[in-house]
Structure 1
């Protein structure tokens, strides 16, 4: 799976979409996408959304000793994807906390949701591996990406 285009906002909202093509390396012996690869697709989409917003994780590590790590994942596998399918990974930030943020991600194929996840990301100090508040400049960036839909 290789992203060739940056994520784009969907419908003028803070929902971003990243196209993903399923390659042979993404499938299992049965010819369907191996279950762990859906999480890899989501990881890449989160990284690309942040990169498109000007956020560089390697710079935060080098300059501020900050890392973002997955703390929790709630995932629903609804349908299978297969070799050569074109998937769409949809990503929003649902909540911005003091030292964490929650992403909502969906993977769609042919307009239908085949995978859905709520992923909590924690901010930690790299040198201690302990939680730390998200730096104010980074919080300000994240705040511009939080989905503010009143229905949630």
Structure 2
């Protein structure tokens, strides 16, 4: 696990049974990926405005193993599992902080695209290097 981002489960994240609504796990993962880039010195709006690229989700998969509940403190992790010139696969786990219990395991396919053409664009090498070597 290269990166850990803390998340607290709010009431708005839960369903009528008081557990996290399944789609919200993807929101937690997105938030962690954004903060991971930010922690490495890359703001997504700067990448868009100054470099003409954005990262888009190509695929998203999740295995729900245990429920997260209202007020739980979670860790959302991020790890580069593979990459090509224009795409990468990010493994993301969600664990409860107090017992490190794995609640959800996800895999997100990300593609770097040119903002004008929306065609695949090379991932800047400095971003890949920092992501792969972040601890």
- TM-score w.r.t. length of structure 2: 0.91
| Unpaired segments ≥5 residues, structure 1 | 1-13, 148-152
The answer (yes or no) to whether the contact 2:11–2:70 under 8 Å persists in 1 is yes
Deviation at 1:46? 0.6
Which of 24, 34, 40 aligns to 1:47? It is: 34
| Unpaired segments ≥5 residues, structure 2 | none
Superposed CA deviations along residues 43-90 of structure 1, whole A, max 9, x for unmatched, are 000111110000111011111221100001121011111101111111
What is the alpha-carbon distance in structure 2 between the residues aligned to residue 60 and residue 117 of structure 1? 25
Aligned length: 132
The answer (yes or no) to whether the contact 2:89–2:108 under 8 Å persists in 1 is yes
The answer on 1:112 being equivalent to 2:101 is yes
Higher relative contact order (CA 8 A, sep 6+): 2
The answer (yes or no) to whether the contact 1:96–1:143 under 8 Å persists in 2 is no
Deviation at 1:96? 2.6
- TM-score w.r.t. length of structure 1: 0.81
SS at match of 1:25: helix
- The runs of at least 4 consecutive aligned structure 1 residues that moved more than 2 Å come to none
